[in-house]
Structure 1
């Protein structure tokens, strides 16, 4: 199947997944996966008993230093809008290649809203190669496993081993960390590499025809390329799309995000067991789930509680969120309810997803969007930030290969082609995960649980309804080489 056909199929799947609340029609994916085979019993979809060989990843998990990467033949002056995770990752990746990079950020100081964030191997492999190890290692936790639990009693129905399996197979650790710590670590690395980060200097206008920014104070800044990593509410996206924005769509769900002080958990054996093993625990049930894990060196316990919601976020009252949250999970595992009762403050967030865009680039090839501005997704694969890191790494790789300014538009189009399909399929995979987790009790839910039985019994079959455990899906998600894929696409474009 050619690129255009793959992308059209992906778009159709994302549209379908967003248009229906339930799982009707959930039968196939446009990305490599066998996680839906339990819904498609046929001779062609019997479980593969011989798992694919492990990926020969280039990076040792203990890696904390970095090599000097291929330097750009043509150093450019690059302006980046946004100092979130995507903007900083892109700045670091570009600066390491020898480009002059300036980041403009509206906020007067950095401090990401949110709590815990998962950093999977496809992202940590890049971040550690950038040299982030010494900056972030004091703040990270490495979960041993991801355990799926039945909603009503917490019994284990799915199990993905992260240590040592993921580290050995994908060449990098799987981290959980407080989002603010990750952002500040990336910020410090960027400064140490020579990136100029201008806080309190937001962008007022983007130029569709030139690599030019007009800042909120009226100053005009000119470079060779503008990269807008200005988030899910991106102003640059509208400019890139010719004046008509394609806003992210409501996915029909919202999430409560909360942190629990682990000191409150230690005295109760019904919840303290969650601290004994740094695992991620995920309770799944009808249209709802709860993800939990420790962060901040075990001092805080991160919780994300997803539930259906079609109401207008402007009508939400955060002061009543805690009580509303408890109502959503009445009747669930009593141990989980004890944990939920320890939450005294929470924020409710709408879950949004984009549909793959037709372009990330203005016709002039001077303004490019990436990260959440280009591909917002629901957090059910925990890869939204990882995709932004991949974006930055791929862009830096491909710009290091051009030898003249005349090649810049072509290089950006090649980058765009590779990344739109990759991130579009990840938007799809994230929505599929939500469908897989949210079955109501019944025949298909039992089929799903049966399709994960082997991993619970520690029998490695290689195929699973659990996308983290299915070998094909996991290799595609976590073994992906963003720099290598960009390089190969450029070489193929040039007949290499």
Structure 2
């Protein structure tokens, strides 16, 4: 029987006194559960909020740094994209000296909108990025999946306030250029040295160092390759045998539409009344849309099958590309096709997906890869950049766990194993969305729509064919704590060789 540790009894004069019992004979109430349950989540959330509040009270408004790591490193990062700058920020906050080497003569992100899901925004807000993004992000209230033919809602994920409350962070959408500039500005504030117009043409994994085209060499204690899907560092990590991402047979048109054009028509203007993501799905195709730039532009990503050689795409005229894009979605929901007709210009991208690599860390333990160089994925879970942010946070945490350089290789391999598992599963989840969304009309499509009907009707459900709504997938995807997972793996690692087998 579970009893209190003490009980109150009345004494002879009417007052009370506390009688203390021997607590050893009573069962202690557990603080956590070993079985799957969400019943204690509110306590975990409360304690996080209390800890965050205490931390905020100790820090000045402009202090973006964390407690310095015990092991201070000089780190060279190749690539100043979203992942490279995220790594620079995470590591600089821990007191490391960070230099970023970038081949572009100036920084500019190609593309349009990007989603920042809760598992990523939680980290970015912790790093201090929110003030740089506040006026630029849009917080969508929901994700509505729509039937290709008429726009009927067939699945619905509520984001506000559900994601903020369940995963301790908002779900944002933003222009890639605004996101990139925010990361750059924060990196500079943290003292990161960003060197532009410096293309790396050689790595020395043992030094470790990188050499750029003008002959200058940058040396550090650790070199991080965040140089994208065409990474030249990846083959160094894989002992000279590259494992490049593969084409999927799909491509995506990316475009934006001025919302003022949409406001001129009642049916298209209706999509702007409440911030939200609208996703039309049909056979082998889908169109993802949402507003960006503080609600001033309507972002569109139009995925379609295409097995032609991307090298030939640049030879096509803009008019021809627009014509092909519209042809792909001929006969779809009239509201959608009306917006597609408003597109003036578009870019076409092949969709690639990597396969899990055997290693992210070179044999020297001084060179590693992260971001798209390590785990390119199709954008169907909107997690590509988020995985790079998680990589960065987990890496900074892994290094923070060690006291000296001798233990660094073990920490890097712990990071590597945790991140390979996480990102390979996200690659798989992204491909599965490509399966779920692209059924032709028929038995599978009807069964999928029936499996998401409860969320549309506001009824309770325990599973969904919509991975954004499915409770199990939600918790795994958006509730993931990249820093905590690395620490857990570190704490649970096997004893070192020096103390194993009784020695």
Q: What is the TM-score normalised by the length of structure 2?
A: 0.86
State the partner residue of 2:429. 429
Deviations 1:323-374 (A, max 9, x none): 0000001111011110110011001100000000000111001110000000
1:460: Cα distance to partner?
2.5
CA contact (8 A) 1:66 1:128 kept: no
Residues 1:118 and 2:115 aligned together: yes
Query: Does 2:76 match 1:106?
Result: no
Contact 2:250/2:306 (CA < 8 Å) preserved in 1?
Answer: yes
Distance in 1 (alpha carbons) for counterparts of 2:474 and 2:427: 15
* Distance in 2, Cα, partners of 1:365 & 1:182: 31
State how 1:445-456 maps to structure 2 within 5 Å. Answer: 445-456=445-456
Cα distance change on mapping 1:456 and 1:318 into 2, 3 Å:
farther
State the distance in 2 between where 1:467 and 1:211 align: 42
- Structure 2 contact 356–375 (Cα < 8 Å) conserved: yes
Query: 1:54 Cα deviation (Å)?
Result: 5.0
Superposed CA offset, 1:456-482 (max 9, x none): 001131310000000100100000000
Q: How far did 1:395 drift?
A: 0.2
2:22 paired residue number: none
Q: Judge conservation of contact 1:354–1:377 (CA < 8 Å) in 2.
A: yes
Q: Which has the higher contact order (CA 8 A, sep 6+)?
A: 1
Change (3 A) 1:85 1:173: same
State which of 217, 228, 233 in structure 1 corresponds to 2:225.
Answer: 228
Q: Counterparts in 2 of 1:128-207, with a 5 A limit?
A: 128-207=125-204
Distance 1:470 1:306, change over 3 A: same
Which residue is equivalent to 1:32?
none
CA contact (8 A) 1:318 1:348 kept: no
* Paired position in structure 2 for 1:413: 413
Q: CA deviation at 1:52?
A: 7.5
CA 1:493–1:294 in 2, change beyond 3 Å: closer, same or farther? same
Tell me what 2:254 maps to: 257
Q: Helix, strand or coil for the counterpart of 1:138?
A: coil
1:309 aligns with 2:345: no
Q: Alpha carbon RMSD of aligned pairs, Å?
A: 1.9
Of 268, 273, 277 in structure 2, the residue corresponding to residue 276 of structure 1 is: 273
Listed as ranges, the gaps of 5+ residues in structure 2 are 1-36, 497-503
Superposition deviation, residue 202 in structure 1: 2.1
Q: Does the 8 A contact of 2:380 with 2:434 survive in 1?
A: yes
Q: Is the 8 A contact 1:229 1:372 kept in 2?
A: yes
Q: CA deviation at 1:493?
A: 1.7
Distance across 2 between alignment mates of 1:51 and 1:433:
26
> Alignment partner of 1:362: what SS?
coil
Shift of 1:416: 0.4
Which residue of structure 1 lines up, in the alignment, with residue 480 of structure 2?
480
- The superposition leaves residues 36-78 of structure 1 with CA deviations (integer Å, 9 ceiling, x where unpaired) of xxxxxxxxxxxxxx98775745469999977753421110000
Q: In 1, Cα distance between the equivalents of 2:160 and 2:62?
A: 22
Q: How far has the Cα of 1:239 moved from its partner?
A: 1.1
Corresponding residue for 1:27?
A: none
Q: 1:401 to 1:164 in 2, by over 3 A?
A: same
d(CA) in 2 for partners of 1:355, 1:456: 35
Query: 1:233-252, aligned counterparts within 5 Å?
Result: 233-252=230-249
* Worse-matched range after superposition: 297-306 or 201-210: 201-210
Q: Separation in 2 of the partners of 1:204 and 1:54? A: 49
Q: Is the Cα–Cα contact under 8 Å of residues 143 and 277 in structure 2 kept in the other structure?
A: yes
Aligned partner (choices 285, 289, 293) of residue 286 of structure 2: 289
Q: Give yes or no for contact 2:137–2:173 (8 Å, CA) kept in 1.
A: yes
- 8 A Cα contact 2:64 2:93, kept in partner: no
CA distance in 1 between partners of 2:252 and 2:182 (Å): 26
Q: Distance in 2 between matches of 1:302 and 1:462?
A: 32
> What runs of 5+ residues in structure 1 fail to find an aligned partner?
1-49
Aligned pair in 2 of structure 1 residues 495, 126: CA closer, same or farther (>3 Å)?
A: farther
Q: Is the 8 A contact 1:257 1:303 kept in 2?
A: yes
Cα offset, 1:179, TM superposition:
0.3
1:78 paired residue number: 75
Cα distance in 2, alignment partners of residues 332 and 460 from structure 1: 31
Is 1:493 the counterpart of 2:490? The answer is no
SS in 1 for 2:291: strand
> 2:115–2:172: 8 Å Cα contact kept in structure 1?
yes
Give yes or no for the alignment of 1:328 onto 2:328. yes
Q: 2:433, 2:467 within 8 Å by CA — same for their partners in 1?
A: yes
Question: Retained in 1: the 8 A contact 2:65–2:92?
Answer: no
Q: Are residue 376 (structure 1) and residue 376 (structure 2) matched?
A: yes
When residues 394 and 69 of structure 1 are mapped into structure 2, their CA distance, relative to the original with a 3 A threshold, is same
Corresponding position of 2:124: 127
**In the alignment, what sits opposite 1:39?**
none
TM-score, with length taken from structure 1: 0.87
| Matched residue, 1:89 | 86
Contact 2:99 2:193 in 1 (8 A): yes
Secondary structure of the structure 2 residue equivalent to 1:160:
strand
Aligned residues: 447
2: distance between equivalents of 1:59 and 1:124? 16
Quick one: structure 1 residues 416 and 59, their matched pair in 2 at CA, closer, same or farther if it must change by over 3 Å? farther
Whole-angstrom CA distance in 1 between matches of 2:144 and 2:102: 38
